[in-house]
Amino acid sequence: MSPAPVRVLIAEDSPTVRHHLATIINEAEGMSVVGQARDGEEALRLAQELHPDVISMDIRMPGIDGLETTRRIMSQLPTPVVIVSGMVEREVDLSFQALQVGALAVVAKPPARTDADFASRRRQLVNTLSAMAKVQVVRRWENIPGQNGLRSANWPTVVQTRIKPEIVVIGASAGGPGALAEILGGLDSDFPLPVVIVQHLPNEFMQGLARWLQKSAALPVKIVSHNMVLDPGAVYLAPGDSHLKIERQADRLVAVLIQERGSYRHQPAIDVLFESVAIACGAAAVGVVLTGMGDDGATGMLAMREAGAITLAQDEKTSTVFGMPAAAVARGAVNQVLALSNIATTLCHLI
């Protein structure tokens, strides 16, 4: 027997866009639209009635917007949510806020069928909805007054590095933007190392991610370009359409972008970054793998650990999806598993 189709609830206020999305999803093999909501209030009601496998969520809707709708769904009836966003700056900013409260991914709204990008955007939407429908999400309790921003007073002692680190590299996927915002928000403006990040995200959202993270970060946040020298005390994001390697050139660390995808499932791939740092920096590095689906980063993190680097993983309790950290742990690639609230403190302690 063929598996049951992925049941999708669409929340979108525009009738035209709603019809467009429903047609795309219903045409996809193994997917079916089970409900269509015109606003957040209707989306909440239909989520309760229909129990969809995944929700396609517009971010700007009348009344209860997509951000608040996502927050309520994650606290009342946890369901995988994919933000399907327009590309105007306000929508992108709200989309990252929705990721912070529990949405799993963000994709751009597919253009008209006559558009040159239609096929790739359609594929991106369908693949993301299908993948996120498999995630077992957890309840996000409503914030309790007076308990926002609490951090553990007793953070675990990590294995000490014998060589002074010269770079921090971080890999993240589903749930990553919110985790990155918390970590970067915990690093002071005098943090002395470059922080290089691969976050699985469509390329069109990377500039928006940089702007959004900058609101939390004391360090400057920028998208790397090919042959860019990495300066201490700055955050560098890989673009969404190229692999990122770190090389040592004339005793400087330099970002090298590779456009060929190769056999990697993701581009950029965390493994490419981590493996290059194992070669370029050896023990003088710290690697961090955060929340995300799959196993990207596990192989590269093992290479880093075998080279003598310190390797950290986000714990299951604070991960939106424990797939990538769990894979790295299973490979024996991780020195220490930490709660998200302890990672920035630990990085500062190691440095």
pLDDT digits (tens, 9 = 90+) for 93-113: 899 999 999 999 999 999 999
Going from the C-alpha of 280 to that of each of 113, 197, 253, 331, the distances in angstroms are 45, 16, 8, 22
Side-chain-facing half-sphere of 131: CA atoms under 13 Å: 18
What one-character-per-residue DSSP string does 184-253 give?
A: HHTS-TT--S-EEEEE---GGGHHHHHHHHHTT-SS-EEE--TTEEPPTT-EEEPPTTSEEEEEEETTEE
- Give the DSSP H/E element, type plus range, for residue 124: helix 118-132
Q: What are φ and ψ of residue 105, in 5° steps? A: -160, 165
Q: Where in the chain is the domain with CATH 3.40.50.2300?
A: 6-132
Cis geometry, peptide bond prior to residue 268 (ω within 30 degrees of 0): yes
Question: Does residue 3 register a pLDDT over 90?
Answer: no
Percent of the chain with pLDDT over 90: 85
| Per annotation, catalytic residue among 39, 296, 315, 319 | 296
Catalytic status, residue 20: no
Question: Does residue 57 register a pLDDT over 70?
Answer: yes
Across all residues in the chain, what is the average pLDDT? 91
Q: Where in the chain is the domain with CATH 3.40.50.180?
A: 168-350
Q: Dump pLDDT digits (tens) for 127-137.
A: 999 999 999 88
Report the pLDDT averaged over residues 276-296: 97
The better pLDDT of the pair 214, 160 is held by 214
Question: Does residue 145 register a pLDDT over 50?
Answer: no
Using a 10 angstrom Cβ sphere, with 0-12 exposed, 13-18 middle and 19 or more buried, the burial of residue 194 is buried
pLDDT of residue 255: 98
**Encoded tokens for 108:** 């751009």
pLDDT of residue 132: 95
Are 260 and 244 in contact by the 8 Å Cβ rule? The answer is no
Catalytic status, residue 173: yes
Q: Dump pLDDT digits (tens) for 226-270.
A: 999 999 999 999 999 999 999 999 889 999 999 999 999 999 999
pLDDT of residue 150: 35
| Per annotation, catalytic residue among 85, 173, 242, 319 | 173
**Cα gap 348→195, rounded to integer Å:** 12
Question: Does residue 151 register a pLDDT over 60?
Answer: no
Confidence of residue 146 (pLDDT cuts 50, 70, 90): very low
Which residue do the tokens 């991780």 mark? Answer: 334
pLDDT of residue 138: 74
Confidence of residue 159 (pLDDT cuts 50, 70, 90): low
Report the pLDDT averaged over residues 209-218: 96
Question: Does residue 152 register a pLDDT over 50?
Answer: no
**Cα gap 222→232, rounded to integer Å:** 13
Question: Does residue 54 register a pLDDT over 90?
Answer: yes
Confidence of residue 91 (pLDDT cuts 50, 70, 90): confident
pLDDT of residue 12: 97
| Per annotation, catalytic residue among 20, 200, 243, 266 | 200
Amino acid at 319: S
CATH for 6-132, options being 3.40.50.740, 3.40.50.300, 3.40.50.2300, 3.40.50.620:
3.40.50.2300
Which of 12-26, 158-172, 240-254 is predicted least confidently? 158-172
Catalytic status, residue 115: no
pLDDT of residue 218: 97
pLDDT of residue 301: 98
Burial 160-172 (b: 16+ CB within 10 A, else e): ebeeebbbbbbbb
The architecture in CATH of the region 168-350 reads: 3-Layer(aba) Sandwich (3.40)
Q: Dump pLDDT digits (tens) for 177-200.
A: 999 999 999 999 999 999 999 999
**Cα gap 217→215, rounded to integer Å:** 6
Which of 81-90, 174-183, 201-210, 260-269 is predicted least confidently? 81-90
Question: Does residue 315 register a pLDDT over 80?
Answer: yes
pLDDT of residue 351: 83
Q: What are φ and ψ of residue 347, in 5° steps? A: -60, -45
